[in-house]
A and B are shown apart, each in its own frame.
Chain A
């Protein structure tokens, strides 16, 4: 059954990609991609999962399935989608008209003509005398940051035009470096948020074990990413203008298939050695590394309370070294998904601004694969298959962790511009507000759902709703307006509750912290929402993924973008799930993923880690006296 399920999952992905060759229209490609996604889901969540088969959702929830199919049909046959047909590969003539409309006008040219600066204008410019500053200080900040601070090639000749232009260029890159580094530091702090959210949601007897997984996932993931993950992901991504070009990252492995180039993985940057010992590359590495670490830490939540520590170490290495970087390359490293626009005329190719798909869906889908392999905790399900609630031990930790994560998300999304100066980077304000709004509507979407359905406003689900909203807005945050952000967050808040119920009651997959629902399901929703809500008003230097113009979703007239997003989803649920499952199955065969049943009942703190997180709670009173 496992093998058959895997074949279905992979087959769905192959079908979705083959749709690019089978059909030349957006409708055809979209329908085939949807069919591929459905086949992959039947394989992964259905055939591979015996509990799911017994419940046979397609029999008990026929109305729901029909409604979903009807909605999909409506979307695909909507007027805006049909107006775009056929979706042939763009020709030079077709692409050309879009460019002037979208290209960022040079600020000076857009307003008034300005006389060009000449060397003569600079002659005689001097800064304040240093003796004055030494004598009086500069409390009013009037003498600090002046012409004195401009680096000159020849100090005797004074400031030249060349000095000035170089200084402006360096200042722009400096602003972008500082922005990217500081937002990267914020994302790094999200590890603390994940650690205490997950630990708060599990039982006290496993607290040390869960904290230690979250703690070491940072070191293990970072190490794997330094050795080869970064090179595979970003080894061929140059140029990135906001970071000064990062030109050493210039080698991508490309194969030609059906007459089109398919970029598969990068080939420079292993161990950050050779020419990649470069300041711009270092900034990019730090920022991308903390994103990868977010992915690896998602899995620890879903597999908590029964994951053998040595298996966790090996599994994390595989995710950080290969699985995450592969999808990261396809989406962000100039890989084949990002080039769907250039090669097949599908909008701007697969667009994932800050990683609903790359970071969260990859983490959530790997968490699903791990949970299915490891199995549920002892006592989670009764003999008749009904689930038991296993409450976490500290709700205060959970909600504090959610706040820390929400704070870190202001690094996650706005930081993904990789700069604050030039190429439309001033949109960081909009990205930050979108992030804030979606988190807000996500939390009260979940809160109200639980309140109305169960009569109480559930704290842990309100927290998960906040995270679900943030996960969902991660991908579209750079492309949508505030109203769409609210809708995306609201849907995510409700979706996370429905998804938790589905995995608990129907699929019988034990996920102690709801990671599969928060990150996997809402990651996919975030990816999809770009194809629906992107409003075509963003402008990051006049093009995105090599396609001129702004990213525009179905509701604003570009059906091709939705098809590109669907292909991204098909890749995630088909190929990435299969890779994760096979890798973790191998770890299960060799290392053994599940801890001993006796250890699990006792709690993993002592058998695995050798110390309780809360010794006062468990050790007999005489030992403490």
Chain B
């Protein structure tokens, strides 16, 4: 019982996506924006998976 590594991966990908999204402001442009949003989307999927596993 308790939190799982899926939650940890979800937080990792959220931080990564947030960082990539931020680089859009320093010259990353549309690629960074789309890439960052996609990685954040992946983290959202993992958060949902974690909720199912953890029964939260």
Interface residues of A (CB under 8 A from B): 223-224, 227-228, 231, 267, 270-271, 273-274, 308-310, 313-314, 317, 321, 590-592, 594-596, 598-599, 606-608, 610
A317 and B17 alpha carbons, distance in the complex (Å): 12
Query: Which residues of chain B have C-beta atoms less than 8 A from A598's C-beta?
Result: 1
A309 and B44 alpha carbons, distance in the complex (Å): 15
Q: Is the CB of B47 within 8 A of A596?
A: no
Q: Is the CB of A271 within 8 A of B56?
A: no
Q: What 4 pairs between A and B have smallest CB-CB spacing?
A: A607-B2, A227-B22, A270-B25, A310-B7
Interface centre among B2, B48, B51, B54 (most CB of A within 10 A): B2
Q: Is the CB of A610 within 8 A of B2?
A: yes
Query: Which residues of chain A have C-beta atoms less than 8 A from B18's C-beta?
Result: 224, 227, 317, 321
Q: Is the CB of B11 within 8 A of A313?
A: yes
Query: Which residues of chain B have C-beta atoms less than 8 A from A224's C-beta?
Result: 18
Interface centre among A313, A321, A594, A610 (most CB of B within 10 A): A313
Query: Which residues of chain A have C-beta atoms less than 8 A from B56's C-beta?
Result: 308, 592, 594-596
Q: Is the CB of B22 within 8 A of A314?
A: no
Q: Which of A227, A271, A607 contacts B3 (CB 8 A)?
A: A607
Q: Is the CB of A607 within 8 A of B51?
A: no
A595 and B23 alpha carbons, distance in the complex (Å): 33
Q: Which of B11, B23, B48, B54 contacts A590 (CB 8 A)?
A: B48
Q: Which of B11, B25, B55 contacts A231 (CB 8 A)?
A: B25
Query: Which residues of chain A have C-beta atoms less than 8 A from B55's C-beta?
Result: 596
Q: Smallest distance from the beta carbon of B3 to chain A beta carbons, Å?
A: 5
Q: Smallest distance from the beta carbon of A250 to chain B beta carbons, Å?
A: 15
User: Which single residue of chain A is at the shortest CB-CB distance from B51?
Assistant: A592
Query: Which residues of chain B have C-beta atoms less than 8 A from A308's C-beta?
Result: 3, 56
A313 and B50 alpha carbons, distance in the complex (Å): 15
A171 and B8 alpha carbons, distance in the complex (Å): 48
Q: Is the CB of A309 within 8 A of B14?
A: no
User: By the criterion of a CB under 8 Å from any partner CB, how many residues of chain B are at the interface?
Assistant: 23
Q: Is the CB of B25 within 8 A of A228?
A: yes
* A227 and B19 contact, Cβ closer than 8 Å, known pairs A271-B26, A314-B14, A599-B1: yes
Q: Which of A274, A321, A596 contacts B54 (CB 8 A)?
A: A596
Q: Which of A271, A314, A594, A608 contacts B2 (CB 8 A)?
A: A608
Interface string of B1-21 (1 = CB under 8 A from A): 111000110110011001100
Interface centre among B1, B3, B50 (most CB of A within 10 A): B3
Further pairs besides A313-B11, A590-B48: 8, Cβ < 8 Å? A227-B18, A227-B19, A231-B25, A267-B25, A314-B11, A591-B10, A599-B1, A610-B2
Q: Smallest distance from the beta carbon of B26 to chain A beta carbons, Å?
A: 5
A293 and B15 alpha carbons, distance in the complex (Å): 17
A110 and B17 alpha carbons, distance in the complex (Å): 59
* A317 and B50 contact, Cβ closer than 8 Å, known pairs A231-B25, A610-B2: no
**Pairs across A and B, CB under 8 Å, 23 listed:** A223-B15, A224-B18, A227-B22, A231-B25, A270-B25, A270-B26, A271-B22, A308-B3, A310-B3, A310-B7, A310-B10, A310-B47, A317-B18, A321-B18, A591-B47, A592-B47, A592-B51, A596-B54, A598-B1, A599-B2, A606-B2, A607-B2, A608-B2
Query: Which residues of chain B have C-beta atoms less than 8 A from A310's C-beta?
Result: 3, 7-8, 10-11, 47, 50
A308 and B4 alpha carbons, distance in the complex (Å): 12
Query: Which residues of chain A have C-beta atoms less than 8 A from B50's C-beta?
Result: 310
Query: Which residues of chain B have C-beta atoms less than 8 A from A608's C-beta?
Result: 2-3
A227 and B44 alpha carbons, distance in the complex (Å): 20
Q: Is the CB of A228 within 8 A of B22?
A: yes
A255 and B9 alpha carbons, distance in the complex (Å): 40
Q: Is the CB of A317 within 8 A of B14?
A: yes
A318 and B7 alpha carbons, distance in the complex (Å): 18
User: Which single residue of chain B is at the shortest CB-CB distance from A312?
Assistant: B11
A607 and B23 alpha carbons, distance in the complex (Å): 36
Q: Smallest distance from the beta carbon of A332 to chain B beta carbons, Å?
A: 20
Query: Which residues of chain A have C-beta atoms less than 8 A from B2's C-beta?
Result: 599, 606-608, 610
Q: Smallest distance from the beta carbon of B33 to chain A beta carbons, Å?
A: 13
Query: Which residues of chain B have C-beta atoms less than 8 A from A607's C-beta?
Result: 1-3
Query: Which residues of chain A have C-beta atoms less than 8 A from B14's C-beta?
Result: 313-314, 317
Q: Which of A271, A313, A321, A606 contacts B23 (CB 8 A)?
A: A271
* A309 and B3 contact, Cβ closer than 8 Å, known pairs A317-B14, A591-B47: yes
Query: Which residues of chain A have C-beta atoms less than 8 A from B54's C-beta?
Result: 596
Q: Smallest distance from the beta carbon of A55 to chain B beta carbons, Å?
A: 31
User: Which single residue of chain A is at the shortest CB-CB distance from B2?
Assistant: A607
Q: Is the CB of B22 within 8 A of A270?
A: yes
Query: Which residues of chain B have C-beta atoms less than 8 A from A594's C-beta?
Result: 56
Q: Smallest distance from the beta carbon of B16 to chain A beta carbons, Å?
A: 11
Query: Which residues of chain A have C-beta atoms less than 8 A from B15's C-beta?
Result: 223, 317
User: Which single residue of chain A is at the shortest CB-CB distance from B22?
Assistant: A227
User: Which single residue of chain B is at the shortest CB-CB distance from A608?
Assistant: B3
User: Which single residue of chain A is at the shortest CB-CB distance from B1?
Assistant: A607
A595 and B50 alpha carbons, distance in the complex (Å): 12
A273 and B22 alpha carbons, distance in the complex (Å): 12
Q: Smallest distance from the beta carbon of A46 to chain B beta carbons, Å?
A: 30
A231 and B23 alpha carbons, distance in the complex (Å): 12
Q: Smallest distance from the beta carbon of A310 to chain B beta carbons, Å?
A: 4
Query: Which residues of chain B have C-beta atoms less than 8 A from A273's C-beta?
Result: 26
